[in-house]
Amino acid sequence: MTAPHPSRLRRLLAPSGALLLGVAGVVVLVLALTAGGPPEPVAAAAGPAGPAVVGTAPAGARPVGEVLPPSPPRSISIPSIGVESVVDQSGLAADGTLEVPAPGPGYDRASWYRGSSAPGFRGPSVILGHVDSAAEGPSVFYDLGRMRPGEEITVTRADGISATFRVDEVRSFPKNEFPTGSVYGDVGRAELRLITCGGSFDPGARSYRDNTVVFAHLVGSSRG
């Protein structure tokens, strides 16, 4: 499959009544990417997406100590896959799963799970985004599965500090085998998790079967 031009990924889509595909919830890395390519977009006839976020956040998981002072993210830049996005905020749904960007102007933007660490603070910071929509095609994290170890991600925070993370792993997991501990568990440094849907599309459930997750760690910061 030919990857979309980066400028398409940078658009801030605003679908109205679109048939949307959900993002994988607090999910992690790729055990087996399909030929290293991006998740396949679903056909427009697939219908509205069902719940796609899986895994519940452990109630006691909170970072201890800090690398940078805590400050929420405002934007994310991933040069290797052409992503430049505002970062919104998400919480937990009533069933304990992660909320995902809803239909509307914010659908094609990344979103930080505010129950996780601030980017650059000690612990895992979780940012999620949709892979695509039936109506509009590729979304903000469409090419997330193409990322490779060593590539860099920059998250600019509300305090003006830009935190740079280096990718350690990119993996995929079936949604029913979500490794909650690996994603939310406490770590001794500032880390980042990027999450989206992946794998094949399940027409019955109207969602992707897997989650793609990028694991990265803080390597530097600067004030713009």
Within-domain flag for 10: no
Sign of torsion over alpha carbons 207, 28, 78, 82: negative
pLDDT in tens, 77-117: 999 999 999 999 999 888 887 888 888 889 999 999 999 99
pLDDT in tens, 15-55: 333 323 333 333 332 222 222 332 222 222 232 333 333 34
Within-domain flag for 62: no
Within-domain flag for 1: no
pLDDT at 108: 94
Within-domain flag for 14: no
pLDDT at 66: 58
CATH of the domain at 189: 2.40.260.10
- Of 208 and 155, the structure prediction assigns the larger pLDDT to 155
Domain total in the chain: 1
pTM for the full predicted model:
0.72
Within-domain flag for 5: no
Check if the beta carbon of residue 100 is closer than 8 Å to that of residue 53: yes
Mean pLDDT (whole number) for 155-180: 92
The SS3 assignment for 172 reads: strand
The SS3 assignment for 75 reads: strand
Mean pLDDT (whole number) for 183-199: 91
Within-domain flag for 16: no
Within-domain flag for 217: yes
Within-domain flag for 60: no
Structural domain harbouring 124: 28-50+67-223
- Of 218 and 24, the structure prediction assigns the larger pLDDT to 218
